[in-house]
Structure 1
């Protein structure tokens, strides 16, 4: 009963924010095992997925054993999928917008890490909006990049066209099956131009964030220690070599007494002659 109350509260809050009140009943499935989750979702959700929404039948599937941490955020994320899908019915939402808006509306924080995008810029592996359509086939790290890009794209959309653009774009999709035509109708901007502007935005904003990545910091730290150790070793070697040179200058060579003896003998011979 507590879970149902939380779902109803989150559903009402999201509906008010989007200014859309759905009339459908939501069915929630609590899946006690991974196998039951896969069976109910048809096996289309990757292993890293924590939950799933079925906008056709208005169902939400939750992994019950892993639901405790971040439960409200997970529920709100899946509810956002259902509400946005209902706004766009009978047409589907572009994946970048669907996931980005759900993350934005649920106020999730795990996908806000800009270092993922910054690293992708360094390796020239940023994902286009079309690339993100294949999200469910991505491995874990690539999926994380797709979610991060999607969130920042929707955040940029809200900055550029206001919060109302979320519902307006979804509603425009109900009239235009082509996302480009729907975006033009809702926002007065070509979707391709928006995507170009978005990538310009992230390149300027997140270019150097990869330097804050933990792996990069460890690498820089180890490299710095290596260089420091090399410099110290070189300085010690030079200091030791200089010390040896000074000792050699200060210590008479073994040949000097012999040379003095030879000189004395020559001098005696000259005196005798």
Structure 2
């Protein structure tokens, strides 16, 4: 290895260590209360003591539901950190697009509690979603777990809810399928896009593909894939062995399924409310312009009459 590569490696290592220590310092520099339970440790900012007790009380139920879904035991004791302030959470998360996130290496779940009363987010659903991330990473090496699979399964077990703030109405995936501007699943292996619309599309695609796998191969098919990933197989091998279909062929069939069910007619029906709202807004603007034109015409006519008088 050349001296240049060694120096580059050492610089990268120092940078990673610095960022990790900075993150840990930010988390533990918060003034938090601590709730010790046998199965979970809950850290909370004041005045979230009541919320922390709620999390501790619901955790055993959430854990059992997740274990039933994935047939894997949660053998670790996670830490849940409840943040009361949106700005503090965004600083920790490094993003304004999410309401919770998991740190698998530390078995840590961080939740923006200020958003837990905002539909569709509920503390129980969010807790299950993030605990799913911890469980998947506990059993599958990070290098073997594609991001789309990680997020898709977490959305599946939590009833389709992501940790993402989605302000748009309707499905971004439907529009992407109709326009042909969807993201290749392989492009979602290591990371998701940063831009909001593309990020939402990545979440929707991940959820949709997992739902397709379950609809075509059953829950057992999905669990077989996870089992092979746990054993150390790459995702292509795991899918081929678990579903008896090559990965690329699976993606083609999934896209064909989406294109077949997503037509312009179904898209218009699904977005009927937004279309009607848009048309009503256009009609209102047109009516307003007509009134302005009439007023100006009347004023012009009145000025002409006064001039003639």
Q: Give the TM-score of the pair, scaled to structure 2.
A: 0.64
Counterpart in 2 of 1:202?
258
Q: 1:37 to 1:114 in 2, by over 3 A?
A: closer
Counterpart in 2 of 1:63?
112
Counterpart in 2 of 1:153?
209
- Alignment pair present for 1:193 and 2:249: yes
Aligned partners of 1:114, 1:215: CA distance in 2, in Å?
9
- Alignment pair present for 1:30 and 2:65: no
For structure 2, the 5+ residue unaligned runs are: 1-52, 288-309
Shift of 1:37: 2.7
Counterpart in 1 of 2:97?
48
Shift of 1:55: 1.6
The alignment partner of 1:163 has SS state of helix
Counterpart in 2 of 1:264?
none
The alignment partner of 2:81 has SS state of strand
Q: Give the TM-score of the pair, scaled to structure 1.
A: 0.71
Counterpart in 1 of 2:137?
85
Structure with bigger gyration radius: 1
Counterpart in 2 of 1:244?
none
Deviation per CA, 1:5-55, whole angstroms, max 9, x where unpaired? Answer: 2122101111122111121111111122344334544x3xx3111100112
Shift of 1:135: 5.3
- Alignment pair present for 1:129 and 2:219: no
Is the 8 Å Cα contact of residues 116 and 210 (structure 1) preserved in structure 2? Answer: no
Is the 8 Å Cα contact of residues 91 and 173 (structure 1) preserved in structure 2? Answer: no
Is the 8 Å Cα contact of residues 80 and 102 (structure 1) preserved in structure 2? Answer: yes
Is the 8 Å Cα contact of residues 144 and 235 (structure 2) preserved in structure 1? Answer: no
Counterpart in 2 of 1:259?
none
Aligned partners of 1:133, 1:220: CA distance in 2, in Å?
40
> What RMSD in Å do the two structures reach over aligned CA positions?
2.7
Is the 8 Å Cα contact of residues 83 and 112 (structure 2) preserved in structure 1? Answer: yes
Is the 8 Å Cα contact of residues 132 and 154 (structure 2) preserved in structure 1? Answer: yes
For structure 1, the 5+ residue unaligned runs are: 230-273
Is the 8 Å Cα contact of residues 121 and 207 (structure 1) preserved in structure 2? Answer: no
Aligned partners of 2:212, 2:175: CA distance in 1, in Å?
20
Between 1 and 2, higher relative CO (CA 8 Å, sep ≥ 6) is seen in: 1
Q: How many aligned positions are there? A: 222
Aligned partners of 1:134, 1:34: CA distance in 2, in Å?
27
Aligned partners of 1:119, 1:78: CA distance in 2, in Å?
28
Is the 8 Å Cα contact of residues 58 and 124 (structure 2) preserved in structure 1? Answer: yes
Deviation per CA, 1:237-265, whole angstroms, max 9, x where unpaired? Answer: xxxxxxxxxxxxxxxxxxxxxxxxxxxxx
Is the 8 Å Cα contact of residues 225 and 239 (structure 2) preserved in structure 1? Answer: yes
Aligned partners of 1:56, 1:16: CA distance in 2, in Å?
23
Counterpart in 1 of 2:232?
176
Counterpart in 1 of 2:305?
none
Is the 8 Å Cα contact of residues 210 and 216 (structure 1) preserved in structure 2? Answer: no
Is the 8 Å Cα contact of residues 85 and 92 (structure 1) preserved in structure 2? Answer: no
The alignment partner of 2:117 has SS state of coil
